[in-house]
Amino acid sequence: MRLREFVIEKLLFIAALSSLAVLALIAVFVFIEGTPIMLREGLGSFLLGAKWAPTKGSFGILPMIMGSIWVTVGALLIAGPVGVACAVFLVEIAPRQVADVVRPAIQLLAGIPSVVYGFIGIVVLVPFIRETFGGPGLSILSAAIILGVMVLPTVISIAQNALEAVPVEYKQGALALGCTHWQTILLVILPTARTGLITALVLGMGRAVGETMAVIMVVGNAVKLPINPLDPARTLTSNIALEMAYAAGAHREALFATGVVLFVFIMILNALANMRLRRRGSHR
């Protein structure tokens, strides 16, 4: 019995280790491929250069960094309020039968392939934005809306957990003092769940930064510093996915360098989320 447990334990440990090793290998690989060109071109001119013409020797990825930031922030401005409102509805307001139908429906959203989102974007959303607001339609706004919907399941499910973790005593205490249900939500439940809600947003953000396929289809991919949300833009992920198939030499290195920047981006977000979670853990 002793021996069996020992073996199982070690096997699990090896499994955990191997997944970690794969991650480490990928990281090392991307960094080895990507860092030389950053050093050669100079980190400043690589990160802050506005011109990207890789076949002609210009490797500035600032337009892509800005594109990623615009699109991600835009997606959060949409998914944040909608997601939190939806979570409040599910946890606090919806009757059980309604919640039981809506919850799995939202989780279903997470299972739709991103190509489908992109296609709906091109066929429905892009023409709508072009006709309503002008511009080419393929834009930051389109990408932000599509991404906002795509990250909703993430935001909602984590926000839900945060709201459900609010002790029932807080709610009763507020109700007993004459709070209406709405006041209880606004004054007690949301402030108490604050850290959890922020975590939901940060994790949603990580998902938004990494999404590729749907974004390529609706964001326009123009390599240009975006000025307003109706402009087309290119994100870090779409830059890699668009050009990797053909790239060779310095161009390919530059795309790996784009991957390095993305990697660091996501690491920072992850660290932020973990910090939040840990703080919340010690708080409760």
**Which residues inside 194-213 make contact with another protein, applying CB under 8 A?**
203, 206-207, 210-212
User: What's the full length of the chain, in residues?
Assistant: 284
Cβ atoms 238, 246 nearer than 8 A: no
The smaller minimum CB distance to another protein, of residues 42 and 191, is found at: 191
180 binds another protein (CB under 8 A): yes
The smaller minimum CB distance to another protein, of residues 74 and 192, is found at: 192
Window contacting another protein (CB under 8 A); options: 37-45, 79-87, 99-107, 250-258: 250-258
Rounded CA separation 234/221 (Å): 4
The single residue listed with the structure tokens 């973990």 is: 274
The tokens describing 110, both together, are 């997470």
98 sits in the region (left: phi over 0; alpha: psi -120 to 50; else beta) called alpha
Rounded CA separation 239/145 (Å): 20
Rounded CA separation 272/266 (Å): 10
160 binds another protein (CB under 8 A): no
Residue choice 72, 142, 221, 235 for contact with another protein (CB under 8 A) = 221
190 binds another protein (CB under 8 A): no
The smaller minimum CB distance to another protein, of residues 77 and 177, is found at: 177
The smaller minimum CB distance to another protein, of residues 6 and 29, is found at: 29
Rounded CA separation 188/214 (Å): 38
Residue choice 64, 65, 88, 126 for contact with another protein (CB under 8 A) = 126
The smaller minimum CB distance to another protein, of residues 71 and 223, is found at: 223
